[in-house]
Amino acid sequence: MPQKKKQTPMMEQYAAIKAQNPDAFLFYRLGDFYELFNEDAIKAAKILEITLTSRNKNAEDPIPMCGVPYHSAKEYIRKLINEGYKVAICEQMEDPKTTKGMVHREVVQVLTPGTYMDESAGDGKNNNYLVAIEKHQQTYALAYVDIGTGEVRVTLLNNIDAVLNELQTFQSKEVVLPQGSDYSFVTLLKEKFRIVVSYQEKKEKSQLIATVMDDIEEASCQEVLTLLLSYLSDTQKRSLSHIQKAIRYQPDQYLKMDTYARRNLELTTSIRDQQKAGSLLWLIDRTKTAMGGRKLKQWLEKPLINQADIYVRQDKVQSLLNHYFERMDISQALSSVYDLERLVAKISFGNVNGRDLIQLKHSLQQLPTLRNILLATQDDIWQETLLKLEEMPELVHLIDVAIVEDPPNLITDGNIIKDGFHSRLDQYRDAMTNGKKWIATLQQTERKRTGIKTLKIGFNRVFGYYIEVTKANVPLLPEGLYDRKQTLANAERFITPELKEKEQIILEAEEKSASLEYQLFLEVREKVKQHSEKLQELAKQISEIDVFQCFAEISEEKHYTRPKILADSKTITIENGRHPVVEEVLGKEKYIANDLKMEEGTDILLITGPNMSGKSTYMRQLALIAILSQIGCYVPADRVELPIFDQIFTRIGAADDLYSGQSTFMVEMVETNQAIQYATDRSLILFDEIGRGTATFDGIALAEAILRHLNQSNKGKVLFSTHYHELTVLDQELLGVTNVHVGAIEQNGELVFLHKVMPGPADKSYGLHVAKLAGMPTSLLTEARQILNRLEKQDKKAKVNDDGEQLSLFMESQFDLNEKEVITELNDYPLEKYAPLEVMNQVHEWKQLLKKK
C-alpha cells in the first residue's frame, strides 16, 4: 500500500485545530492573512467570491486554499455569519520573528450567528438572541441571552408550539441543544426557520454560571442555563463579566400572539419585504437611543396583561404629555446618551477604547439633567425611576481627569491620557517636547555656524535624527565634528554626538510614554468595569424613559388618546378609531375614522362589504389599538374602552406562508385552527374571509361551522369578515352575532368606497366594479355581467325551491348548469307530497329552464 505523504508541521497543526472545530470555517492566521484550507477553502471561496488557489500547486495532491487579508477580514466574516455559518478565529499566539520552529496558534473565538455582535449593522436597535433548549420529560426549558447587552431570561414551556413561538418572537438565529440529544423538531428549525443548530456538552459550574443563576430555583431552568453558558464560554473564550443575572419569566405574563398574528399585524416588520419600514414599530419608534429602540421592540413583542402595570406605563406617558417642555429637554438629553448596555459588554470583552469612555462620560453627564427634569414634573410616578437613576460623579470625574477629549481609535499609540493625570507621564512628555524644541533650534544654529542655508534636520526610522547637507555644500562643513551616516544622490546625512544624545531622550520618552499610557488606560478601564452592574441598571432606566418619551411624542403628534382599560370588561368601545400605519401612509385627511362597539354578549362582529372597502384594515385596526394600549401607549382614536386581551389570533389573507411550501388553503386552515384550539373567552380573533381558499360550497360550509363553533364555545371577541352574504342571516339565529358592513355606493355605474363601517349587512357584491377599477377589458366585464345576471336568476329560483339547503353563486361549467340543476331537483322531488297539478307546473318550469340553455 502506498504510504500517505507526511504533512508539513504547519498543516499538521492546522488539521489538529480544525478537528476541534469541525462545524466552523477555520480562519488560520498566517502573517497578514487568514487562510482557509481544504473543504473550508472550496466552500468559502464560493460564498465569499474569492479566488481558490492551492498551497503546493505542483504536488500530487495540492491542498485547496483561499485567504482574506487580516485587515479586511471583518467583512468576510460578517458575510459568512449572515449566511448562517460559524467562523473560528485562529491566531498566532507568539511573535513569529522571535519564535524558533512552529508558531503556537490557538482559536481565540468562535463567531456564530447567535453570538455575533455586528457593530456596523443598522442603528443597534435589534437584539441578537442565542437560545438554548432542553427537554425534560414533557417540558421544554428555554433560556436566551443577548451577549451584546448581557440580558438573560429563562422559562418553561409545555409544548413545541410554544417553543417555536418564542423562537420566532425574538427571531433568533441560533439554538443550542444538549450534546447527544435527538429532538424531533431539529429539522423544522433548520429547514423551515433557517435556524443554526449547535450541540453543546454541559460544563462544570463556574463562577459565571453561579452568578447568572443566582435567582433561579427550578432544576430544569438551571440545567438549560448551564447549557447556554457552557456554549458561550466555549465559543467566546473571553471575559463575560457583563452577563446579567437570569430572569425567570412566564410566557403567559404577556399577551400571546402566534407567529401568524405577529406577521399579519406587521408589528415589527412589514409583510411585503420583512423590513421595519411599514410596520407599527417603524411608525411609533421615536426613541433617541439604541437601548430605547431595543426596549420598545421588546415591549411590542410582549405586551402586558396586568392592568396595574399598564396603568403605570400610561401614567408615565401622561406625565410627559402634561409637561411638554420637560419632555423636549428629556429627548435632547437622551440624544447625547450612548449605548450603555453595549458599552458594558465591550468593557467586559476588553475592547473598549478612549472614545467609548468619552462617550460614557457624556452619557453620565446627562444624568443630573434627566433627574432634574423628572423632578420638575412633580409627578410621584417617577419616584422609583429616580431612585434607580443614580448619578455617578466619581466615574465622570475619573474619565474627565484621565482621558483626553478627542482620543484616537487605537489604545496603544498614546495621546489618550490627559496631562496632569500622572506625573511620570508628564515628565516623559516634557522630555519629548523639550527635545523636539531643542532639535528645531539646532537647525537654526547649525545653519548660522556653517553658513549653509539649505541645511536641514530630518528623521527616519533607520538612522533616527540626522543633519542633511547637499553634496555641493559638504565642503563648507567644519572638519571632525560631523559623522557621515548616509549618502544619497544629491546629499549627505550626518549625525553629531549631541544630536544622538537628544534623540535617545526623545525616543525613549516616546516609547515609555506610549506604554505607560496604555497601562494607565487599562487601569482606568478596570475601574470603569467595577461599575458595570450600576451602568446596566442605568441603561434599563434610561431605555424606559426613552420609550415613554417616544410614546408621548407619537401620541401628541398623531392625536392619540389614553385608552381606558378594564381588565374584566366584556365591552369594546372605540370612537373614531384609526389604523395607525394606514393613516400615516394615506395621510390623516384621507383616512376615514370608524367606530367599533361590541357590548357584553356580542362576541362576533360579522363584517361584509366589497373588496377593497377596508374590511381588513378595520379588523387590524382593533388589534393594533389593543396592542398599543397593552404596551402602555396611547391609541389612534377619540375614545377607547377595552378589556385586556390574553391572546390575539389572526387569519388574514395576505400573509401566505411562502417559506413552508404549504398551500395557501392549508395555511388558512392551520391559522384558523390555532384560534379554535387555543382561544379563551379573553382572546381577540380576527378572521378575514375564512373559506376563500376553497370551493364556494366548501368555503361557506366551513365558514358557517367555524362561526357556530366560536359562538358556542365562547372564544372571546371575534371579528369575521366575509364575502358570503349567506352568512349574514346568522344574526337572527345566533345570540351574540352582529352584522356590520363597510359602505360603498355606486355613482354613475362606478363604485365609490366610503370606508365607513355601518350597521347591518352589505347587500350586494361589488366584485365586478372592482374588476373595472382594476382596468379589465370592457368586453370581459360585459360578459361577466351577463353571467352574473344568469346566476342571480338561478339563485332566486333555487331559493324559491329551497328545501333547507342554500344554493349560492357558483361558477361551475356554464354550459350544463341548468341541466344539472333540473336533474338534481328531479332526483330529490318528493312526488308523493304534491298534487298532480303542482307536479305539472313543476315539470313545466323545468322545461322552461332547459329551453333557456
Ligand X SMILES: Nc1ncnc2c1ncn2[C@@H]1O[C@H](COP(=O)(O)OP(=O)(O)OP(=O)(O)O)[C@@H](O)[C@H]1O
Residue numbering of the annotated binding site for ATP = 609-616
Give per-residue burial for 608-637: e unless 16+ CB within 10 Å, then b: bbbbbbbbbbbbbbbbbbbbbbbbbbbbbb
Q: Closest separation between CB of residue 754 and ligand X, Å? A: 9
Q: Are 313 and 632 in contact (CB under 8 A)?
A: yes
Residues 6+ apart with CB under 8 A from 293: 123, 124, 125, 285, 287, 546
- Residues 208 to 227: which contact ligand X by CB under 6 A? none
Q: Which is nearer to ligand X, 592 or 637 (CB)?
A: 592
Using CB under 6 A as the binding rule, whether residue 617 contacts ligand X is answered as: yes
What Rg do the C-alpha atoms of the chain give, in angstroms? 37
Select from 615, 651, 717, 741 the one that contacts ligand X (CB under 6 A). 615
Kindly indicate which of the ranges 180-188, 340-348, 470-478, 607-615 contains the residues binding ligand X, using the contact rule CB under 6 A.
607-615
Cα–Cα dist 402/420, whole Å:
8
- Written as one letter, the residue type at 401 is V
Q: Closest separation between CB of residue 640 and ligand X, Å? A: 16
- Residues 818 to 837: which contact ligand X by CB under 6 A? none
Q: Closest separation between CB of residue 643 and ligand X, Å? A: 23
Select from 230, 241, 611, 722 the one that contacts ligand X (CB under 6 A). 611
Q: Which is nearer to ligand X, 198 or 621 (CB)?
A: 621
Cα–Cα dist 281/553, whole Å:
14
- CA distance to 458, 470, 478, 483, 739, per residue, from 488 (Å): 14, 9, 20, 15, 98
Q: Are 746 and 770 in contact (CB under 8 A)?
A: no
Here the contacts of 28-33 (C-beta below 8 Å, separation 24 or greater) are 28/90, 28/105, 29/70, 29/89, 29/90, 29/91, 29/92, 29/105, 30/67, 31/96, 32/69, 32/70, 32/71, 33/67, 33/68, 33/69, 33/70
Kindly indicate which of the ranges 65-73, 473-481, 613-621, 780-788 contains the residues binding ligand X, using the contact rule CB under 6 A.
613-621
Give per-residue burial for 759-783: e unless 16+ CB within 10 Å, then b: eebbeebbebbbebeeeeeeeeeee
Q: Closest separation between CB of residue 686 and ligand X, Å? A: 11
Using CB under 6 A as the binding rule, whether residue 577 contacts ligand X is answered as: no
Select from 11, 42, 208, 586 the one that contacts ligand X (CB under 6 A). 586
Q: Closest separation between CB of residue 619 and ligand X, Å? A: 8
Cα–Cα dist 690/667, whole Å:
11
Kindly indicate which of the ranges 192-200, 312-320, 462-470, 584-592 contains the residues binding ligand X, using the contact rule CB under 6 A.
584-592
Query: How many residues sit close enough to ligand X to count as binding (CB under 6 A)?
Result: 16
- CA distance to 259, 393, 496, 526, 734, per residue, from 403 (Å): 48, 15, 38, 14, 75
- Residues 655 to 674: which contact ligand X by CB under 6 A? none
Q: Closest separation between CB of residue 637 and ligand X, Å? A: 12
Q: Which is nearer to ligand X, 210 or 752 (CB)?
A: 752
Count the neighbouring beta carbons within 10 Å of the beta carbon of residue 138. Answer: 7
Q: Which is nearer to ligand X, 458 or 760 (CB)?
A: 760
Using CB under 6 A as the binding rule, whether residue 264 contacts ligand X is answered as: no
Q: Closest separation between CB of residue 108 and ligand X, Å? A: 53
Select from 226, 549, 616, 794 the one that contacts ligand X (CB under 6 A). 616
- Cα first-last separation, the chain: 87
Q: Closest separation between CB of residue 669 and ligand X, Å? A: 18
Q: Closest separation between CB of residue 616 and ligand X, Å? A: 3
Using CB under 6 A as the binding rule, whether residue 606 contacts ligand X is answered as: no
Q: Which is nearer to ligand X, 352 or 612 (CB)?
A: 612
Q: Which is nearer to ligand X, 144 or 591 (CB)?
A: 591
- Exposure on the CB side of residue 775, measured as CA atoms within 13 A: 0
- Exposure on the CB side of residue 130, measured as CA atoms within 13 A: 31
Q: Which is nearer to ligand X, 246 or 612 (CB)?
A: 612
CA angle 781, 783, 785 (to 5 degrees): 70
Q: Closest separation between CB of residue 585 and ligand X, Å? A: 7
Q: Closest separation between CB of residue 756 and ligand X, Å? A: 8
Kindly indicate which of the ranges 28-36, 408-416, 513-521, 610-618 contains the residues binding ligand X, using the contact rule CB under 6 A.
610-618
What letter would DSSP give residue 416? -
Count the neighbouring beta carbons within 10 Å of the beta carbon of residue 791. Answer: 16
Cα–Cα dist 358/406, whole Å:
8
Q: Which is nearer to ligand X, 93 or 776 (CB)?
A: 776
Q: Which is nearer to ligand X, 310 or 686 (CB)?
A: 686
Using CB under 6 A as the binding rule, whether residue 592 contacts ligand X is answered as: yes
Select from 591, 649, 720, 766 the one that contacts ligand X (CB under 6 A). 591
Count the neighbouring beta carbons within 10 Å of the beta carbon of residue 581. Answer: 23
Q: What is the DSSP string of 533-565?
A: HHHHHHHHHHHHHHHHHHHHHHHHHTT-BPPEE
Give the residue numbers of the binding site.
609-616
Cα–Cα dist 105/117, whole Å:
24
Using CB under 6 A as the binding rule, whether residue 230 contacts ligand X is answered as: no
Kindly indicate which of the ranges 321-329, 390-398, 588-596, 702-710 contains the residues binding ligand X, using the contact rule CB under 6 A.
588-596
Using CB under 6 A as the binding rule, whether residue 261 contacts ligand X is answered as: no
Residues 6+ apart with CB under 8 A from 421: 401, 402, 520
Torsion sign across C-alpha atoms 508, 514, 517, 522: negative
Q: What counts of helices (H) and strands (E) characterise the chain?
A: 29, 27
The residue whose grid cell reads 484550507 is: 37
Using CB under 6 A as the binding rule, whether residue 613 contacts ligand X is answered as: yes
Select from 114, 148, 577, 614 the one that contacts ligand X (CB under 6 A). 614
Kind plus residue range of the DSSP H or E element containing 221: helix 219-236
Cα–Cα dist 303/255, whole Å:
5
Cα–Cα dist 320/551, whole Å:
9
Minimal CB distance to ligand X: which residue?
614
Q: Closest separation between CB of residue 603 and ligand X, Å? A: 21
- Residues 712 to 751: which contact ligand X by CB under 6 A? none
Q: Closest separation between CB of residue 555 and ligand X, Å? A: 20
Q: Which is nearer to ligand X, 307 or 576 (CB)?
A: 576
Using CB under 6 A as the binding rule, whether residue 293 contacts ligand X is answered as: no
Helix (H, G, I), strand (E, B) or coil at 516: helix
Q: Which is nearer to ligand X, 314 or 594 (CB)?
A: 594
Cα–Cα dist 543/334, whole Å:
9
Q: Which is nearer to ligand X, 555 or 722 (CB)?
A: 722
Using CB under 6 A as the binding rule, whether residue 755 contacts ligand X is answered as: yes
Q: Which is nearer to ligand X, 337 or 700 (CB)?
A: 700
Q: Closest separation between CB of residue 574 and ligand X, Å? A: 12
Using CB under 6 A as the binding rule, whether residue 612 contacts ligand X is answered as: yes
Residues that bind ligand X (CB under 6 A): 582, 586, 590-592, 594, 609, 611-617, 653, 755
